[in-house]
């Protein structure tokens, strides 16, 4: 019985890094949950995040691999350029990121560490990937300039380390940061109604704030706005601080008619110029 309870505690602590609650049911049965309930008491858990060992079958691209059990794994916190496939066109730097990851995984052994959300909408596992010597591959891809930082709450473990790794690569001009397609574009180059593919950098100056049902919108011009979900607003500084400031916004540019917008999920995607 004690072994079973210990395993439950270990799995809960490892997977979520959240508050865990202990409750006593009838006849002395004990249960644990990440949700508080009447009479439940918080449990102090000091265990380090747990890592699970797997064998790798192959690498799809710089941020996605397939385990020998058939599960796809998407590296948390980063995005690498696309490689040529049935569904995507090749982007500059995509082949280099894939080849780098293939070389790193020649031993075919990895250790996966999960965050709060363990799967994405495509049912891929979301994980930080480590080698036996402790190398954090998500972070190394950023350091080498092979990936772009893409932080999506609530999976923010190691966020500060990942942010620092990208800054290091940018300053050194490594990898994608020296390629023409990854340089920031002035707003004067925006063509209303045109579609833009791939990860983008745009230089903007927000003028005012507007609200919709789900978003707080930083209005840059009649053709460009930055959208921040109301549910994520508390993780940003007061949005009025962005008004009138020359910024660089990073991510994927979407279009609705003549209007372009970028949905930003973490403050790291908005840089001061």
Residues labelled as active-site residues? 74, 82, 124
Calpha distance 273→247 (Å, rounded)? 5
**Nearest 5 degrees, angle CA 120-CA 121-CA 122?**
90
Q: 138 with 128: CB under 8 angstroms?
A: yes
Q: Are strands 72-75 and 125-130 parallel, antiparallel or unpaired?
A: parallel
Calpha distance 112→99 (Å, rounded)? 20
Phi and psi (nearest 5°) for 117?
-95, 125
Element (H, E) at 227: strand 224-229
Phi and psi (nearest 5°) for 219?
-85, 120
Calpha distance 238→12 (Å, rounded)? 34
């Amino acid at each position: 019985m004690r072994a079973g309870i210990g395993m439950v505690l270990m799995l809960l602590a490892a997977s979520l890094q959240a508050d865990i609650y202990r409750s006593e049911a009838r006849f002395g049965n004990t249960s644990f949950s990440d949700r508080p309930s009447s009479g439940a008491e918080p449990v102090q858990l000091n265990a380090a995040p747990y890592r699970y060992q797997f064998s790798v079958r192959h690498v799809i691209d710089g941020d996605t691999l397939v385990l020998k059990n058939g599960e796809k794994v998407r590296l948390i916190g980063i995005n690498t350029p696309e490689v040529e496939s049935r569904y995507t066109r090749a982007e500059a730097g995509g082949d280099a990121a894939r080849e780098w990851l293939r070389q790193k995984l020649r031993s075919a052994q990895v250790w996966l560490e999960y965050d709060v959300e363990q799967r994405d909408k495509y049912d891929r596992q979301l994980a930080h990937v480590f080698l036996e010597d402790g190398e954090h591959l998500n972070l190394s891809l950023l350091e080498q300039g092979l990936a772009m930082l893409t932080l999506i709450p609530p999976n923010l473990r190691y966020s500060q380390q990942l942010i620092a790794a990208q800054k290091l690569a940018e300053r050194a001009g490594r990898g994608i940061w020296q390629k023409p397609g990854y340089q920031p574009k002035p707003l004067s180059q925006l063509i209303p109604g045109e579609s833009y593919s791939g990860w983008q950098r745009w230089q903007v100056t927000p003028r005012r704030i507007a609200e919709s049902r789900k978003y707080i919108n930083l209005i840059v011009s009649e053709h460009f706005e930055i959208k921040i979900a109301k549910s994520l607003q508390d993780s940003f500084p007061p949005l009025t601080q962005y008004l009138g400031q020359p910024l660089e916004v990073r991510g994927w540019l979407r279009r609705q008619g003549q209007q372009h917008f970028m949905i930003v999920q973490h403050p790291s995607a908005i840089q001061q110029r």
